[in-house]
Amino acid sequence: MISTLQPPRSLSHFRSNPTLLLRYASLKPLSSLSSQPVTHSTITDQSQSPNPPSHSQILSTRHSLLSRHLTATQLAESFLTRLRLTEPHLRSFLHVSDSVLAQARELDEKIQRNEELGPLAGVLVAIKDNICTAEMPSTAGSRVLEGYTPPYDATAVRKIKELGGIVVGKTNLDEFGMGSTTEASAYQVTANPWDISRVPGGSSGGSAAAVSARQCMVSLGSDTGGSVRQPASFCGVVGLKPTYGRVSRFGLMAYASSLDVIGCFGTSVADAGILLHAISGHDRLDATSSKREVPDFSAQFVSMNLLESKPLKGLRIGLIRETLDDGVDTGVTSAVRTAALHLEELGCCVTEVSLPSFSLGLPAYYILASSESSSNLSRYDGVRYGNQVAADELNSQYMDSRAKGFGSEVKRRILTGTYALSAGYYDAYYKRAQQVRTVIQKSFKTALDEHDILISPAAPSAAYKIGEKKNDPLAMYAVNVNLAGLPALVLPCGFVEGGPAGLPVGLQMIGAAFDEGKLLKVAHILSRHCRIADLFLH
């Protein structure tokens, strides 16, 4: 049972091991925060709450600042100290902001003047380095953009700043998001906080590792084919991929425009939901952003004490059969099936559901993503952006700049995509992949017409060793969600053997389009019921 799972070794052992200190060393200022349980009124009236929720760093931070238990400067200094101690081992960040303390002091001055605070006041946020920031370099993990600083903030970053959030820095990633281990970065390899000999997943491995190691409170990543959800599983944090169009893509460096979304990492479901709410909404600068009203996701985070014994009674859950077939580690399968049993205890009706087209997702994804990337990355030519190689003629300048600026994985995908789009092959590859995408979308719609939520493993295994599977393709059950444009949330659900302390496993929950609220509600109740936060997140 998840509720009785314990890490393989005691915390006293962890504290004697310098590697595990990356994961378990506590932040002293945060230890003084109240541990009272969350209530509905706590969420909806944050500024007046005397009892901050123990499972939300964002709301606890707000309470501590308003009650004067902590200053924003103390909080920022604590996280920066931890970042400096852990970063030589983890290498989560490509750039750390030099204005964090200045922003924190400005916030303290506002509090002294009794000025109104934004909902993210004092929250330290890390940003994946393919999301533009006006005051820091944005390289997408590529040499072709080395040293490049955009003249504007991405819409998601701008909203975070407007709501009082403090951007800590830019996190490492696979170059332009092309990879699933963060080993394809042009600058460094990020390590997993649970075991620094293992990968954190990718491509948002830096953002996931930073949250897992408490180098920041929450972070932004991007998800084109599982790049938020797989690293969330590997690093034992919550990862949330919103519906395509829920969050503006303005300022997100395009990899595959019809698949890319900005997603959220947090140490709790509540924090991921609060961050998603902050960055969601229509943006006139992004024609693909939805005009749908953004609901108040915080209304889903109700205390278990206020719920009946079967709070999810009548909810229909579909366990995707094809994601538990050969190739999935037995420990992962066991953890997911145990999570399904807990959902039944909460009142859900869990049945297996078959999606026969599931196996078609991975090849279709690679054709579509590579094709779109070959078009999107044509702008990096050494003239308009980034580094330029000196040459006597224009074509040589283009070729040399791209040859020296792009890494091997990016070159492979550009070549694959260019081939798939070329005359004589377009119908056989790109057009057919689009047809497969339609089949996958219809199969998900059929399944979600009969079920409220679909569940599966987030990845077929726990985190593997650095260098072990560098060139392996992404798991098919991650990419299918992007092909269908659906929201998905990954929640830690168990441990498997490996590393000095065991390795986390993530449960993926998939919902209907723009139904993030239901995913957040179910994940929040499941995590509180099983006390997952006590095992993974504190």
User: Which value, to the nearest 10 degrees, does the dihedral of the CA atoms of residues 456, 445, 367, 385 take?
Assistant: -90
- Which ranges constitute the DSSP H helices of 67-154? 72-90, 100-112
Strands of 344-449 (E only): list them. 349-353
User: Residue 339: what residue type?
Assistant: A
Single out the catalytic residue among 49, 60, 78, 203: 203
Strands of 257-345 (E only): list them. 261-266, 316-320
User: Which value, to the nearest 10 degrees, does the dihedral of the CA atoms of residues 206, 516, 124, 219 take?
Assistant: 10
User: Which value, to the nearest 10 degrees, does the dihedral of the CA atoms of residues 484, 487, 490, 493 take?
Assistant: -90
Q: How many angstroms separate the CA atoms of 27 and 15, rounded?
A: 13
Residues ≥6 apart with Cβ < 8 Å to 490: 228, 229, 230, 232, 233, 238, 239, 240, 458, 506, 507, 508, 509
Single out the catalytic residue among 49, 227, 290, 357: 227
Q: How many angstroms separate the CA atoms of 121 and 116, rounded?
A: 10
User: Residue 412: what residue type?
Assistant: R
Residues ≥6 apart with Cβ < 8 Å to 309: none
Q: Is 227 a catalytic residue?
A: yes
Single out the catalytic residue among 49, 56, 60, 128: 128
- Residue 136 tokens, joined: 């820091």
Neighbours of 116 (CB within 10 A): 8
- Residue 47 tokens, joined: 């500024």
Q: Between helices 72-90 and 100-112, what is the axis angle to 10°?
A: 160
Active-site residues, by number, are 128, 203, 227
